[in-house]
Amino acid sequence: MGYNRGEYRLPVVIHTHPGFEEEFQDLLCKFQKKVQDRLQKAFRLRMRRLSERGKQVIVEPYFEKLTGESNLYSCKLSMKNPNLRILFAFLGTDVVLLTIFSEKGRSDYNKAIRRAKGRLRDFHEGIV
Protein backbone atom coordinates (compact mmCIF):
# COMPACT_ATOMS: atom_id res chain seq x y z
CA MET A 1 0.00 0.00 0.00
CA GLY A 2 1.10 3.54 -0.68
CA TYR A 3 1.15 6.49 1.64
CA ASN A 4 -0.24 9.97 1.26
CA ARG A 5 2.49 12.29 2.56
CA GLY A 6 2.91 10.03 5.56
CA GLU A 7 -0.54 10.90 6.91
CA TYR A 8 -2.97 8.47 5.33
CA ARG A 9 -2.57 4.92 4.21
CA LEU A 10 -4.19 4.40 0.85
CA PRO A 11 -6.70 3.23 -0.04
CA VAL A 12 -8.66 5.05 2.65
CA VAL A 13 -11.51 3.05 4.21
CA ILE A 14 -14.89 4.77 3.85
CA HIS A 15 -17.57 4.28 6.51
CA THR A 16 -21.12 5.60 6.52
CA HIS A 17 -23.31 6.79 9.35
CA PRO A 18 -26.57 4.76 9.34
CA GLY A 19 -28.50 8.00 8.81
CA PHE A 20 -26.49 8.70 5.65
CA GLU A 21 -27.55 5.43 4.04
CA GLU A 22 -31.22 6.13 4.73
CA GLU A 23 -30.96 9.71 3.42
CA PHE A 24 -29.23 8.57 0.24
CA GLN A 25 -31.93 5.99 -0.51
CA ASP A 26 -34.71 8.50 0.26
CA LEU A 27 -33.14 11.06 -2.09
CA LEU A 28 -32.64 8.55 -4.90
CA CYS A 29 -36.30 7.49 -4.76
CA LYS A 30 -37.35 11.03 -5.68
CA PHE A 31 -35.82 10.79 -9.14
CA GLN A 32 -36.44 8.89 -12.34
CA LYS A 33 -34.36 5.79 -13.05
CA LYS A 34 -32.05 7.63 -15.47
CA VAL A 35 -31.20 10.27 -12.86
CA GLN A 36 -30.80 7.60 -10.16
CA ASP A 37 -28.30 5.76 -12.36
CA ARG A 38 -26.36 8.98 -13.01
CA LEU A 39 -26.23 9.80 -9.29
CA GLN A 40 -25.14 6.28 -8.31
CA LYS A 41 -22.39 6.35 -10.94
CA ALA A 42 -21.21 9.76 -9.70
CA PHE A 43 -21.25 8.46 -6.12
CA ARG A 44 -19.08 5.45 -7.03
CA LEU A 45 -16.60 7.65 -8.93
CA ARG A 46 -16.29 10.22 -6.12
CA MET A 47 -15.87 7.55 -3.46
CA ARG A 48 -13.21 5.79 -5.51
CA ARG A 49 -11.27 9.08 -5.80
CA LEU A 50 -11.65 9.70 -2.08
CA SER A 51 -10.44 6.19 -1.29
CA GLU A 52 -7.49 6.44 -3.67
CA ARG A 53 -6.31 9.94 -2.76
CA GLY A 54 -7.36 10.46 0.86
CA LYS A 55 -7.06 14.06 2.01
CA GLN A 56 -5.26 15.02 -1.21
CA VAL A 57 -8.62 14.77 -3.00
CA ILE A 58 -9.66 18.11 -1.47
CA VAL A 59 -7.90 20.04 -4.26
CA GLU A 60 -10.09 18.37 -6.89
CA PRO A 61 -13.13 20.19 -8.32
CA TYR A 62 -15.84 18.08 -6.65
CA PHE A 63 -14.38 18.30 -3.14
CA GLU A 64 -13.83 21.11 -0.64
CA LYS A 65 -13.06 21.75 3.01
CA LEU A 66 -15.88 23.66 4.66
CA THR A 67 -14.81 27.12 5.72
CA GLY A 68 -14.90 27.61 9.47
CA GLU A 69 -15.11 23.88 10.21
CA SER A 70 -12.13 22.00 11.56
CA ASN A 71 -12.95 18.56 10.13
CA LEU A 72 -15.92 18.80 7.78
CA TYR A 73 -15.64 18.42 4.03
CA SER A 74 -18.07 18.50 1.14
CA CYS A 75 -18.33 16.36 -1.95
CA LYS A 76 -20.44 17.60 -4.85
CA LEU A 77 -22.29 14.56 -6.07
CA SER A 78 -23.98 16.53 -8.81
CA MET A 79 -23.72 20.18 -9.77
CA LYS A 80 -27.22 20.71 -11.14
CA ASN A 81 -30.68 19.25 -11.03
CA PRO A 82 -30.36 17.82 -8.43
CA ASN A 83 -27.62 19.73 -6.61
CA LEU A 84 -26.59 17.04 -4.11
CA ARG A 85 -23.85 17.38 -1.50
CA ILE A 86 -22.24 14.84 0.82
CA LEU A 87 -20.69 16.04 4.08
CA PHE A 88 -17.90 13.87 5.43
CA ALA A 89 -15.01 13.88 7.88
CA PHE A 90 -11.64 12.21 8.30
CA LEU A 91 -11.33 10.02 11.39
CA GLY A 92 -7.76 8.89 11.78
CA THR A 93 -6.92 7.17 8.52
CA ASP A 94 -10.57 6.61 7.59
CA VAL A 95 -13.40 8.67 6.16
CA VAL A 96 -16.94 8.75 7.45
CA LEU A 97 -19.84 9.88 5.26
CA LEU A 98 -22.13 11.84 7.58
CA THR A 99 -25.04 13.27 5.60
CA ILE A 100 -26.28 13.90 2.08
CA PHE A 101 -28.65 16.68 1.09
CA SER A 102 -30.04 18.66 -1.79
CA GLU A 103 -28.55 22.14 -1.71
CA LYS A 104 -31.01 24.84 -2.64
CA GLY A 105 -29.66 27.61 -0.44
CA ARG A 106 -27.31 28.45 2.43
CA SER A 107 -29.88 27.36 5.01
CA ASP A 108 -29.72 23.81 3.58
CA TYR A 109 -25.96 23.78 4.21
CA ASN A 110 -26.40 25.12 7.75
CA LYS A 111 -28.92 22.38 8.64
CA ALA A 112 -26.70 19.72 7.09
CA ILE A 113 -23.64 20.97 9.00
CA ARG A 114 -25.53 20.74 12.31
CA ARG A 115 -26.69 17.21 11.44
CA ALA A 116 -23.17 16.19 10.34
CA LYS A 117 -21.64 17.48 13.59
CA GLY A 118 -24.12 15.45 15.63
CA ARG A 119 -23.36 12.32 13.63
CA LEU A 120 -19.63 12.90 13.91
CA ARG A 121 -20.11 13.11 17.68
CA ASP A 122 -21.81 9.67 17.48
CA PHE A 123 -18.61 8.24 15.98
CA HIS A 124 -16.36 9.92 18.54
CA GLU A 125 -18.53 8.63 21.40
CA GLY A 126 -18.67 5.11 19.94
CA ILE A 127 -22.46 5.19 19.52
CA VAL A 128 -22.16 4.02 15.91
Third-level CATH fold of 12-124: YaeB-like fold (3.30.2310)
Query: pLDDT tens digit string along 19-73?
Result: 999 999 999 999 999 999 999 999 999 999 999 999 999 999 999 999 999 999 9
Structural domain boundaries of the chain?
A: 12-124
pTM of the model: 0.89
**SS3 annotation, 43-99:** HHHHHHHHHHHHHHHHHCCCEEECCCCCCCEEEECCCCCCCEEEEEEEECCEEEEEE
Q: List, for residues 80-102, the tens digit of each pLDDT value.
A: 788 999 999 999 889 999 999 99
Please state whether beta strands 73-76 and 84-91 pair in parallel, antiparallel, or not at all (unpaired): antiparallel
CB 31 within 8 A of CB 82: yes
